[in-house]
Structure 1
Amino acid sequence: MADESAPPRPSVVGQFFRRLGELQQNALDQATPHVGFRWIITALLFITYFIRVYLLQGWYIITYALGIYLLNLFIGFLTPKIDPNLSMESDDDGPELPTKSSDEFKPFMRRLPEFKFWYSCSKAVCVSMSCTFFEAFNIPVFWPILVMYFIILFVITMKRQIRHMVKHRYVPWSKSKTRYKGKEDTGKVYAK
């Protein structure tokens, strides 16, 4: 009867995936403070992906979809968490961007934080890379049309985003926290 009340033991497959998830989370936790290193690894993934696509001369639809997805992520990265257009209409007391020069400065909060932006970009490149191993995703298209359409889409989207930034007077990137320096300690003691 004691066996009936005990919870069932997880399967070997379940234990494997739980352990794999723990290892992934541990690696992400350790990588969090190393912003430059994370982006260098992602840039190397991009370069590897583009070299693979160039050498194989295919998978242009996958590359186009990757570009559209990354553009969407970038817009989320540039956009404030609370849209000033919507916050002007509502009477919420949440954080807002300053609209006048006399308004108090409140830090820019992104709709998509940097870490999630990096993580999503890295995952997208890995998924795109894995798609290049399957011939079913190699749909024949005239790639110059896709490049031209992506450029037009990028210009229109960025133009709209820049207008939004100018209208609400915010800059989505800022310097790091200001550090004040005191007097230099020379180690000398002056007696009076």
Structure 2
Amino acid sequence: MAVIPMPYSPATVARSFSILDGVTIQGVLYQIIWDPKTPFAAVIEAAPSVIDGDIRHKVVATLELQRRSQLEGVFVRKFWEEQDVAQIEGIVVDGAVRDVGLATFVYETIATKAGVILLSDNEQYEGGKALWQHIARRSTNLKVFILDTDSARYYPFDGDRICYDGESIPESEIWSEHPDRNKHGVVLVAESVNGKAA
């Protein structure tokens, strides 16, 4: 389960992360920081403040990812060759900055600035479904595809692949409802519209 970590010292941010982008929300500048080795992203307040007596950057969101050599029946390196691919383990956004599009911005930043192809996990709850549908409908920086990892084919499963726009592919082709696991092998794939890191 993804959790928001303790605040980071400026030295930790400088040593362990690269700053990919920034965004201002309600007059506060936040930075998206990225550790490609872990892989892990966080959103921090750009200006450090005194927290528990120390100078720290407050963390307001985290994105936990995992690189896998295989997804169900798909060998990641064979399928995506030299591209950086990571499966999402979870995203957590603090309530103070929730519902302003921050999760979407983090996904876009990791895909466009770090050049990572993002894969959903195989278990989608209502919040995850809503986020992926929002990204598919609204993002101008990402294109979303549906991949069946059991058959190693993109929707419509005929050798081609079409972009998912949040409505263009029936939900029954993407998600199955518990206890049915018929669509467990289906993941969503988010790629930069430019195809590479900026």
Q: Specify if TM > 0.5.
A: no
Q: Which has the higher contact order (CA 8 A, sep 6+)?
A: 1
Bigger Rg over Cα: 1
Task: Please tell me the TM-score bracket, short chain as reference.
Answer: under 0.3
Q: TM-score, normalised by structure 1?
A: 0.22
In terms of fraction of residues, the more strand-rich structure is 2
